[in-house]
Every structure is written in structure tokens, then in C-alpha cells.
Amino acid sequence: MQINPLLLATASPPIPEAKAWTAGYGGQFGPLIDLSQAVPGYPPPDELIRRIAEATLAPEASAYGDLLGDADLRAAYARHVSALYGGEVGADEVAITAGCNQAFVMAAMALAKAGEAVILPTPWYFNHRMTLDMLGIETVELPCHAETGFVPDPRDAEPLIDAKVRAIVLVTPNNPTGAIYPAETVRAFAELSARHGIALVVDETYRDFLPPGGARPHDLFAGFDWRRTVVDLYSFSKAYCIPGQRMGAITASRTVLTEIAKIVDCVQICPSRAPQRGLVWGIDALAAWRERNRAIILERAEAFRQAIADRDGWSVDSIGAYFAYLRHPFPGKRAAEVASWLATERGVLCLPGSYFGSGQEDHLRVAFANVDVAAIASLPARLETGAKFRAASGGRSK
């Protein structure tokens, strides 16, 4: 048989490839520290799991639900978004999805067709690029740089918009860099998109881990005609520690969701019913629990920043939410070589920057939120570069 050539040309899932490196680790530095995949480093609350389990036993949980999600969860999430951003979002402007990755796939299918294009800031989230590749949608790179905190500039984006471009994608807080985009930057991209009649897709999977007490992440839902331009994506996986339950959300105009419903009907019919029942309760009831977890993640971020500070040439070029973008001390060495060495020789698994686009060979992505402060404190000893790898790099470590 013949396989779709677009799929054949799409990169393989990178996490399994990276995890294979750990087979060579002999345990000489202690247990493996897995900083590769963004997985909550603590369990979900018992009450949420109990409610999901009880909901599973109810007969209606095994029946089909609404295409775009159960009405009460859509309403609860719409109220939450409206309160968070000081705007007005209706329940009919929310769709519940099987995680944020599915939300992006459906948004991409709704906004562009094969042969058209989407602008992705680089470094990008690799699943976004994979999705566009398998759909035959061209990726237009918008380079971001350490010197500007890996925050994209709308002035750099505007010359990239041509007749093929249908959307710009922002991820904030960012995966992989951790960069937190200022609200005015997000607004400027929305205004740019509106001027050109294209969509702005904002992936806010990690917004629950912003520093507390600051301004709203952006003001797109208040004082801006967002329905003409914005498609907002969210994941319940990290904030509620339920990645295996596959719960995400899209906030968009009724016009956009009407078309997305066609995709839903073909790929999942409806989101899973039982976890929706738990989240209807949890959005309000777990607000204090989520705040405590935000504090835990911020503590881990600070612990990582201090652990790596001036450490044998390693430097944190960007950090926020779940991630740090770490510059390695071996100029000219491929990021995959460095990441493989760390995994096999030092028992530290992280991802090479090359997984996240071109021009990223000097960096590694670290998902520090996966592990506790004690594990983070053990990293400096493992990051000492060592004579063997230093010699292999031509003695060029800083």
C-alpha cells in the first residue's frame, strides 16, 4: 500500500527518540532525572479523581455527549475565562477537546488548507510543526532570539504575511523557551492579524503558572473585537494534573466553532464524558489548590535558576512556567549530541533545541516542573562537563 507522502515527510515523535538514550545510562549518578516531557510532578487532588471515577460509573458517561462538550462544562469554563480576562465569553464560544494538541489540530484544519501557510515563531512547539506538515500547510518561521528573551516581534512578522498566510500562532508562556509574552505584544499581534484578515491562534496551556499578582495575560477578551481574529487554546492537563484524561478547550467565535464541529464529528464525536463531570466541579472548587501548585512551580523555577547560575558555562537564556531554555557550553556541538551525552553519562534527560526548529543547536529544553527541588539541587554535579566530553568538543567549553 502507499502511505500519504505528507505523513511520511513529517518528523517522528521526538519524546520516544530522546527516551531511548536513557537505555545506556548505568546509574552512576543516581536515579534518572527525566526533564524531557512536561508532566505534572505531583498527583491530581483526590476529590477530583473520586468525582471522575464516580462519573464513570454513571450510565450517561458511556453515552454520546454534545459534539463540542457538555453544556455545563462549556458554561463553567466560559465563566472562568470571562472572569480571568474581564471580558465576555459565552458557553457557545467554547469547545471541549481531547487535550490542547487536538485543539490545535482542529484549529489548523479550520483555518488553513494544504498549500496555504501559518506563521510559527521559532523555536516552536514541535507538535505544532508536525501538525502543519502532515496537513500540507506551509510553516513560515518567525525567528525569536535570546537577546530579546525569545519574545516574537510583530514588526518582524508583518513582512512575512502574504496571500498564503492564514494564521499566526503564539504560545505563551512558551513551550519550549518558557518565555512569557507581554500583554502588549499579544495585543499587537492581534491587531496585526486583524489588519491582514488572518487568525491569531494563542496557545495558553501554561497560563496557570504565571507569576501571581501581575496583570492579566492579555486583554484580547476585553476591549478588542476578538471574535473576528482570535482562536484561544487551553489544556486542563497541567493545571489539574490530568494529562491522561485528555481535556482541553478552544475559545473562538460561533462561526469558527460551527466549522470545527464538522471536524469533531469525524475525529472523536464528543469529548470523554467522565472527566468533564469532574472539571465542572473543579474549575471553581480547586482554585486554591491551583494557586498552591502555582507556588510550587515558581519555587522549582527559582531553584533551577539558582542551580544553573554560572555553572561551568551552562546558562539559562529563558525560563518560565514549566520550562527553561538552557544554553550548553559546547559551541559547534550539535544539541542532540549534548542531550544524548547527558542522558547516557549523567542520567539527565532533556530535549535538544534542534527538536524545536532551525538555529537551535546551542540550546536544550528543560522541563524542570517535572521534578522536586531536591532533584533540581542535584543537577549541578551532573552538569559538570567532564574531561571526556570536553575533549570531544575541542576544549571549547566556556
CATH of the domain at 382: 3.90.1150.10
Considering the domain architecture, whether residues 229 and 370 belong to the same structural domain is answered as no
Residues 207 and 342 in one domain: no
C-alpha cell at 291: 494557586
143 and 55 in one domain? Answer: yes
- The sheet with strand 315-320 has its strands ordered as 315-320, 323-327, 363-366, 351-352
Fill in the amino acid letter for 227: R
Both 178 and 314 in one domain: the answer is: no
Shared domain check, 50 and 38: no
Domain span at 201: 46-286
pLDDT (0 to 100) of residue 195: 97
- Distance of CA 166 to CAs 106, 169, 178, Å? 14, 10, 26
Tally Cβ neighbours within 10 Å of residue 182: 15
Q: Is residue 254 situated within a structural domain?
A: yes
Q: Nine-digit cell at 308?
A: 544553573
Distances (CA, A) of 285 to 73, 92, 369: 13, 23, 23
Q: Is the peptide bond before 243 cis (omega within 30 degrees of 0)?
A: no
Q: Identify the CATH number of the domain in which residue 83 sits.
A: 3.40.640.10
Residue 398 lies in a domain: no
Indicate whether 25 and 103 sit together in one domain.
no
Model pLDDT, residue 373: 95
**Residue 388: predicted pLDDT:** 62
Q: How many domains does the chain have?
A: 2
Residues 260 and 223 both lie in one domain? yes
Q: What is the predicted pLDDT for the residue at 212?
A: 79
Q: Residue 363: what are its φ and ψ, rounded to 5°?
A: -125, 160
Same domain, yes or no: 33 and 180: no
Residue type, 201: V
227 plus 302 within the same structural domain: no
255 with 299, same domain: the answer is no
Residue 397 is assigned to a structural domain of this protein: no
- The pLDDT, as a whole number, for residue 398 is 34
- Any domain includes 324: yes
> Domain check: are 180 and 106 in the same one?
yes
Q: How many CB atoms lie within 10 A of CB 119?
A: 24
Establish if 127 belongs to a structural domain: yes
Residue at which a domain ends, from 218, 253, 286: 286
239 in a domain, yes or no? yes
Report residue 91 CA to chain centroid gap: 24
Q: Is residue 327 part of a domain?
A: yes
Question: 236, 253, 286: which is the final residue of a domain?
Answer: 286
Per run of 10 residues, the mean pLDDT along the chain (length 398 residues) is: 94 92 92 91 93 95 95 98 95 97 98 98 97 98 96 98 98 97 97 98 96 85 93 96 95 97 95 96 96 94 90 89 94 93 94 95 95 93 72 46
C-alpha distance across the termini of the chain, in Å:
52
pLDDT at 396: 41
323 and 243 in one domain?
no
Tell me the CA distances in angstroms from 195 to 4, 107, 112, 198, one per residue in order: 36, 20, 18, 8
Domain boundary among the residues 286, 320, 351 is at: 286
Whole-number pLDDT of residue 172: 97
Q: Are 47 and 263 in contact (CB under 8 A)?
A: no
User: Using CA atoms, how far apart are residues 171 and 53, in angstroms rounded to an integer?
Assistant: 32
